[in-house]
Amino acid sequence: MTDDLCDRALEFATKAHESINQRRKYTGEPYIVHPIAVAEIVKTVPHTPEMIAAAYLHDVVEDTAVTIEEIEAEFGKEVADLVGWLTDVSKPQDGNRRARKAIDREHSAKAPAEAQTIKLADLIDNTKAIKPHDPGFWKVYRREKHELLEVLTRGDRTLWQRAQESSREA
C-alpha cells in the first residue's frame, strides 16, 4: 500500500506538471525532475510514505490547476495537509517579493516537522539549480533561504545542516 501511495503521487505529479508543459528554468528538463530529487533527499532521513508522496506533490497546487481538495480526495488528509504546508500562501497583491516571502516564511514557521523536512529538501535541490546558473538571483535566494532556515527549526537536523552548508560561498 505504501509503495502504491508513492507511485500514485509520482504519476499524479508528473501528469499535473506535464499538463502545463512545465520545465525547470535553467535546464529545460521536465519539471518532475525537481520533485523526484526532493523525494530522494527526503528518503535519506527518517520519513514516512506520506512525506514522500507530499515531496512528489509539493509544487502541484502552487504551479498547476490542481487544488488541495483534489490532493486530499486522491491521497488522503495527511498528504494534503503536508502539501498545504508546502504551498505558498502569499498572493501577488500582498506586495513585492520580499513582502510575499515574509508571509510564506511565517506560514512555513508554523509547519509540522514532516513538512519542514520536505521544505529543507526543496531548498537543497533548488540551491543546486540556482547557485551555478543564476549568480544574480542567487544573492536574493541565498538571503531568503537563510531567513527561512531560521524558522525551519523542527525539520530534520541533518537536512537543515545540508541546507545551511549549501548556502556557503564557493
- Catalytic residue from among 18, 62, 69, 150: 62
| Residue 161: count of CB within 10 angstroms of its CB | 12
What is residue 30's three-state secondary structure?
Answer: strand
**Measured distance CA(72)–CA(70) in Å, rounded:** 5
The single-letter DSSP state of residue 110 is: T
User: Annotated catalytic, 144?
Assistant: no
- Catalytic residue from among 63, 74, 104, 134: 63
The answer to whether 83 and 54 have CB atoms below 8 angstroms apart is yes
User: Annotated catalytic, 62?
Assistant: yes
Kindly provide the b/e burial profile for residues 36-57, where b requires at least 16 CB atoms within 10 angstroms of the residue's own CB.
bbbbebbeebebebbbbbbbbb
User: What cell was used for 34?
Assistant: 525537481
The catalytic residues are: 62-63
